[in-house]
Amino acid sequence: MSNPYAPPRAAVQDIVNETARASAAERSARLGASLLDGLVILGMVYAPFFVGMLLGGGLHGAGADGGGAMIGVGFALATVGFIVWCTITVRYMQRNGQSIGKKIVGIKVVRTNGEPATFGRVFWLRNFVNGAIGMIPFYAFVDLLFIFGESRQCLHDKIADTVVVNA
């Protein structure tokens, strides 16, 4: 007679989603996408700000009225660039889990089980929570080093239960 209170004796095996792992994006593709995203931000947000300041002499100590006005123009141009960048990025992320750089390189963010990652998961867990944790000294460096693991997941990927794969 078997004991009804005994633990189950079923064999348990870890199930690995080979589809997500087999098509994991190369580390160089992730680096390229990150660099491209940085260049896009530079071109759409920071460059307009500095161009506005340089044209108005804001960096060279122009008069109070001219310099202040051009700093305002620089902020306005940067704000417009930021809004455009946000609109494009949100649209790409909602459609296919891609930032602008990821779209150019041909990679995307998905859940570890292969399902599409929701925008909320990507925004809140991969970006917001990771940014808050990023205030801890050396966290960004440690986050980066995790990409050299077998799963090629950085800490922010593990937090959000996501993986970056070829699109």
Q: What is the pLDDT of residues 149-160, one digit of tens each?
A: 988 999 999 999
With beta carbons less than 8 A apart as the criterion, state whether 109 and 97 touch. yes
Percent share of the chain, pLDDT over 90? 61
- With respect to residue 6, please indicate whether it lies within any of the assigned structural domains: no
- With respect to residue 18, please indicate whether it lies within any of the assigned structural domains: no
- With respect to residue 86, please indicate whether it lies within any of the assigned structural domains: yes
- With respect to residue 127, please indicate whether it lies within any of the assigned structural domains: yes
Mean pLDDT, rounded, of the chain: 86
Note the pLDDT of residue 6.
Answer: 84
Q: Supply the pTM of this predicted model.
A: 0.77
- With respect to residue 17, please indicate whether it lies within any of the assigned structural domains: no
Write down the residue that tokens 């620089």 correspond to. Answer: 74
Note the pLDDT of residue 165.
Answer: 95
Whether residue 2 is predicted with pLDDT greater than 50 in this model: the reply is yes
Note the pLDDT of residue 65.
Answer: 56
Note the pLDDT of residue 100.
Answer: 95
Note the pLDDT of residue 20.
Answer: 46
Instruction: Count the domains in the chain.
Output: 1
Note the pLDDT of residue 116.
Answer: 92
Whether residue 163 is predicted with pLDDT greater than 50 in this model: the reply is yes
Pick the more confident residue, 27 or 68.
Answer: 27
Q: What average pLDDT does range 114-139 have in this prediction?
A: 92
Range of the domain at 38: 24-166
Binning pLDDT at 50, 70 and 90, where does residue 102 land?
very high
State pLDDT tens for residues 9-60.
Answer: 877 776 655 544 558 999 999 999 999 999 999 999 999 998 877 776 655 5
Integer Rg of the chain from CA? 22
Whether residue 109 is predicted with pLDDT greater than 60 in this model: the reply is yes
- With respect to residue 122, please indicate whether it lies within any of the assigned structural domains: yes
